[in-house]
């Protein structure tokens, strides 16, 4: 038996879906953790917004508090779990916990994407740990490998599907032919999408996660605001039909590239070859492909969201703190290890500039609704040629005799983003082009 006094005090900030699951596991699986870790996890206090709210759990109301000081100033608590979400007040609570020399475990992608290196520096000086495995990919282990296992690699590419909500919606549209609104409604019914899903649909959630991955992988500071961001709301069922005919799937990709002394980071829908590993990631699953000079290409995949997978990552971070602090079975020693300054997790080691999106060179898919009359395609080809854009294929689809219109699908050879955007502006000025149905980048993953 683990001695009753061999405990590590836990404070929990936030008791939503994830917080409730974590609290349940910590309390109900106390003996399991004690046997596995050699230390008992003692949950001392939980910060909630409303103590009177009815909850479907067996936790004692004595643990609940609306005062963060009951956690941040409690000397019995040495590990604070921040599961509130959002930038504030979560950021200020994390800072206070670190300055109180408490270890912090968080799933907060927004805080880590915007403030991670600075918070890590505070933790470093306070000789405590800041862990955030659950901030990217749910239960998929990716933060730890980037910090440690792959540290010898010069990582130059990260391509990922890291938002379960959008991947579920795109999968339904691709496989069932459902429209965007119907697929979104189903995602809400199944709990994959929140009541206000804008962060997911507009790509912001994926941008936060990519900023974290790029900062760790490329060892330079990448802020969420550095990431070009474009969502999926403009994707139509027609785009899946035409993409499949061309041999592609459509995914919301998070792409980070290190090219010499520059970094390029972007989130947007993309056509990717059907036989690529990421094209096969369906439903709410996530996948992250990392390429480095020594290991080549590796893919991390699994459930990217949900209470169970996120709880797994949070408890894994607690176990890592126990192990690295020399507590319990891992070392047989209870005293905390005192580190020299600089002897902690790697912070960004360089300050590489972010390459503007306008400099991107890739292939493009364009869907245009045009007047069905002679020389329209010639006008389009002339504009593209004037901007140095080479056409790879043209397909005419869905001629509407009554409306005197036709749909044209064009794919290009590699072209510069700035040139394509300028061509689109000229398309919109042509009276013969009724609308630009869509413009989607084509990626060879």
Q: What is the DSSP string of 15-45?
A: -SHHHHHHHHHHHHTHHHHHHHHSSEEEEEE
Q: Which residues contact 35 (CB under 8 A, 6 or more apart)?
A: 2
Q: Which residues contact 243 (CB under 8 A, 6 or more apart)?
A: 249, 250, 271, 365
* Pick from 127-136, 239-248, 366-375: least confident: 366-375
Q: With bands split at pLDDT 50, 70 and 90, how would you rate the model's confidence at 342?
A: very low
Q: Which residues are catalytic?
A: 209
Which residue in 317, 336, 310 sits closest to 37, CA to CA? 317
Q: Each residue of 157-176: pLDDT tens digit? A: 999 999 999 999 999 999 99
Block residue for tokens 């510069």: 416
Q: With bands split at pLDDT 50, 70 and 90, how would you rate the model's confidence at 242?
A: very high
- Residue 25 CB neighbours (<10 A): 19
Is the confidence at residue 213, as pLDDT, over 70? yes
Q: Each residue of 5-30: pLDDT tens digit? A: 578 899 999 998 889 999 988 888 88
In the CATH scheme, what is the code of domain 358-442?
3.30.70.260
Q: Each residue of 85-122: pLDDT tens digit? A: 899 999 999 999 999 999 999 999 999 999 999 999 99
CA angle 178, 182, 183 (to 5 degrees): 70
With 0-12 / 13-18 / 19 or more C-beta atoms within 10 angstroms meaning exposed / middle / buried, residue 428 is: exposed
Q: Say what the pLDDT of residue 115 is.
A: 95
Q: What percentage of the chain exceeds 90 in pLDDT?
A: 71
Instruction: Report residue 323 as tokens.
Output: 């192990």
CA angle 348, 217, 255 (to 5 degrees): 125
**Domain residue extents for the chain:** 7-138+306-330, 146-302, 358-442
Q: Say what the pLDDT of residue 336 is.
A: 45
Beta bridge partners of 367: 409, 438
Q: What is the DSSP string of 255-305?
A: EEEEETTEEEEEEEEEEEETTSGGGG--TTEEEEEEEETTTEEEEEEEE-S
Q: With bands split at pLDDT 50, 70 and 90, how would you rate the model's confidence at 334?
A: very low
Q: Under CATH, domain 146-302 is a member of which superfamily?
A: Dihydrodipicolinate Reductase; domain 2 (3.30.360.10)
Contact between 440 and 236 under an 8 Å Cβ cutoff? The reply is: no
Q: Measured between alpha carbons, how far is 310 from 324 in angstroms, rounded to an integer?
A: 21
Query: H or E stretch including 392?
Result: strand 391-400
- What is the pLDDT of the chain when averaged over all its residues? 89
Contact between 371 and 404 under an 8 Å Cβ cutoff? The reply is: yes
Q: What is the DSSP string of 354-384?
A: BPPGGG-EEEEEEEEEEESSTTHHHHHHHHH
Give the pLDDT mean for 185-206.
Answer: 92
Instruction: Report residue 16 as tokens.
Output: 């939503």
Q: With bands split at pLDDT 50, 70 and 90, how would you rate the model's confidence at 4?
A: very low
CA 79 to chain centre: 25
Q: Say what the pLDDT of residue 332 is.
A: 39
Q: Say what the pLDDT of residue 57 is.
A: 64
Q: Measured between alpha carbons, how far is 265 from 158 in angstroms, rounded to an integer?
A: 9
What residue spans of 29-138 are helical by DSSP H?
A: 30-37, 69-72, 90-99, 109-126
Q: Say what the pLDDT of residue 38 is.
A: 84
Is the confidence at residue 187, as pLDDT, over 80? yes
Q: Which residues contact 179 (CB under 8 A, 6 or more apart)?
A: 173, 236, 237
Q: Say what the pLDDT of residue 56 is.
A: 61
Is the confidence at residue 421, as pLDDT, over 70? yes
Instruction: Give whole-number Cα distances, 164 to 73, 169, 275, 295, in Å.
Output: 37, 9, 21, 27
Q: Each residue of 305-315: pLDDT tens digit? A: 678 888 999 99
CA angle 122, 127, 132 (to 5 degrees): 65
Task: Write phi, then psi, for 45 (nearest 5 degrees).
Answer: -160, 150
CATH code matching the domain that covers 7-138+306-330, chosen among 3.40.190.10, 3.40.50.720, 3.40.50.620, 3.20.140.10: 3.40.50.720
Q: Each residue of 278-300: pLDDT tens digit? A: 999 999 999 999 999 999 999 99
């Amino acid at each position: 038996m683990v001695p009753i006094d061999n405990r590590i005090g836990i404070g929990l900030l936030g008791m939503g879906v994830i917080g409730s699951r974590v609290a349940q596991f910590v309390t109900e699986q106390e003996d399991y953790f004690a046997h596995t870790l050699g230390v008992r996890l003692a949950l001392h206090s939980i910060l909630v917004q409303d103590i009177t709210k009815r909850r479907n759990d067996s936790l004692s109301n004595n643990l609940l508090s609306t005062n963060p000081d009951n956690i941040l100033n409690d000397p019995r608590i040495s590990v604070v779990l921040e599961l509130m979400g959002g930038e504030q007040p979560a950021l200020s609570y994390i800072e206070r916990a670190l300055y109180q020399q408490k270890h912090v475990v968080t799933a907060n992608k927004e805080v880590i994407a915007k403030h991670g290196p600075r918070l890590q520096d505070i933790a470093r000086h306070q000789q405590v740990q800041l862990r955030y495995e659950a901030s990217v990919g749910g239960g998929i282990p990716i933060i730890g490998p980037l910090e440690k296992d792959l540290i010898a690699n010069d990582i130059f590419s990260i391509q990922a599907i890291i938002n379960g909500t959008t991947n579920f919606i795109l999968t339904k549209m691709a496989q069932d032919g459902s429209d965007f609104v119907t697929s979104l409604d189903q995602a809400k019914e199944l709990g994959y999408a929140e009541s206000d899903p804008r962060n997911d649909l507009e790509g912001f959630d994926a941008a936060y996660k990519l900023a974290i991955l790029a900062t760790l992988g490329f060892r330079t500071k990448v802020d969420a605001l550095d990431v070009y961001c474009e969502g999926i709301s403009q994707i139509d069922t027609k785009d899946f039909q035409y993409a499949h005919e061309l041999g592609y799937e459509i995914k919301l990709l998070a792409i980070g590239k290190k090219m010499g002394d520059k970094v390029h980071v972007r989130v947007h829908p993309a056509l990717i070859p059907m036989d690529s590993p990421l094209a096969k990631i369906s439903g709410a699953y996530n996948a992250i492909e990392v390429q480095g000079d020594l290991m080549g290409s590796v893919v991390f995949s699994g459930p990217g969201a949900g209470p169970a997978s996120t709880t797994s990552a949070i408890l894994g971070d607690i176990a890592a703190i126990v192990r690295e602090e020399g507590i319990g079975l891992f070392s047989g020693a209870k005293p905390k290890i005192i580190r020299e300054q600089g002897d902690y997790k790697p912070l960004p080691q360089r300050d590489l500039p972010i390459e503007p999106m306008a400099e991107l060179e890739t292939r493009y898919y364009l869907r245009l609704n045009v007047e069905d009359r002679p020389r329209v395609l010639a006008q389009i080809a002339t504009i593209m040629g004037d901007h140095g854009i080479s056409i790879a294929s043209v397909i005419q689809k869905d001629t509407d005799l009554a409306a005197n219109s036709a749909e044209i699908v064009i794919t290009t050879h590699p072209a510069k983003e700035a040139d394509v955007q300028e061509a689109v502006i000229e398309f919109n000025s042509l009276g013969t082009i009724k609308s630009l149905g869509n413009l989607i980048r084509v990626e060879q993953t």
